[in-house]
Amino acid sequence: MTTAHRPTFDPAVGKEAQRGPAYHQRLLPAHTQLKVRKPGQGGDADGHQFRDLRAELLEAEAAHFAKTKGGAPPSATPDQAPAVNAAKRQLENQEDEEDIEVKRRRILEESRDIDADSDDAEEEDSDEDDSDDDEDETAELQRELEKIKRERAEKREQEEREKAAAEEAAMEHDIALGNPLLNKSDFSVKRRWDDDVIFKNQARGTDDKGKKKEFVNDLLRSDFHKRFMSKYVR
């Protein structure tokens, strides 16, 4: 027999255990260590060591050419290397500045020549375009004029044909029905003899004169119903 329906007077009690304070997982300390850049990632970890990549490239090229052409590669002492590099940089900067000025002058001269040529070409093209446009407009006007003349001629011919057809039909009708001896016409008068009389229907409504109008609470015995029946139903 089940006891699920009976009340629980003595609920189950758990064992007593040694428990400390409870904390939520997100309340625990986290991110307690600061991240810093490692060597190779830039910043203070690299020690601000600047490499002269241009000097290294020149040395590698000189060693390569010396190896391919034969001979000992050029060796520079550590004391002479900075001075040599500085002199090379100064000469290269001067050459770059001179090259920039020369290139600038050459580009300006070429641009002037190109502008002059383009102006001349544009003037010639504009003259040719104007003449071509004038010729095209003249040809277009000629075509429009010919089209208008052709349409007017076609319209005139059509009107003449319609007029000739109407005249021919009228002539055939006169030939067929114009002779009164062959085609007897109806001379009967189709209107009444009293159509021209001024006064008409003078006796209408004389029968109702002298009668006393009475009110009858019956639609079938009313005066209007009697007049209607005598007029339309006999």
The secondary structure element, H or E, covering residue 26 is: none
Q: Which residue has the tokens 């400390």?
A: 20
How far apart (Å, rounded) are the C-alpha atoms in residues 97 and 91?
10
- In angstroms, rounded to a whole number, what is the distance separating the alpha carbons of residues 224 and 208? 12
d(CA 165, CA 171) in angstroms, rounded, equals 10
Could you identify the residue written with the tokens 């016409």?
A: 185
> Where in the sequence is the domain holding 66, given as residue range(s)?
53-177
Residue 167 lies inside a defined structural domain of this protein: yes
Q: 8 lies in a domain?
A: no
In a domain, 207, yes or no: no
Question: Which of the four pLDDT bands, split at 50, 70 and 90, describes residue 63?
Answer: very high
What CA–CA distance (Å, rounded) separates 93 from 99?
A: 10
Number of domains comprising the chain: 1
For the chain, what percent of residues have pLDDT higher than 70? 70
117 HSE (CA, 13 A, CB side): 6
Q: How far apart are CA 232 and CA 211, in angstroms?
A: 21
The answer for residues whose C-beta is within 8 angstroms of residue 51's C-beta and 6 or more apart is none
Residue-wise pLDDT for 95-137, tens only, equals: 666 677 778 888 888 888 777 766 666 676 667 777 778 888 8
Amino acid (1-letter code) at residue 73: P
pTM score above 0.75:
no
pLDDT tens readout for residues 197-213: 777 766 666 666 666 77
Averaged over 144-173, what is the pLDDT? 93
pLDDT of residue 181: 74
Given this model, what pLDDT does residue 173 score? Answer: 85
Nearest to 61 by CA among 88, 90, 99: 88
89 pLDDT above the threshold of 50: yes
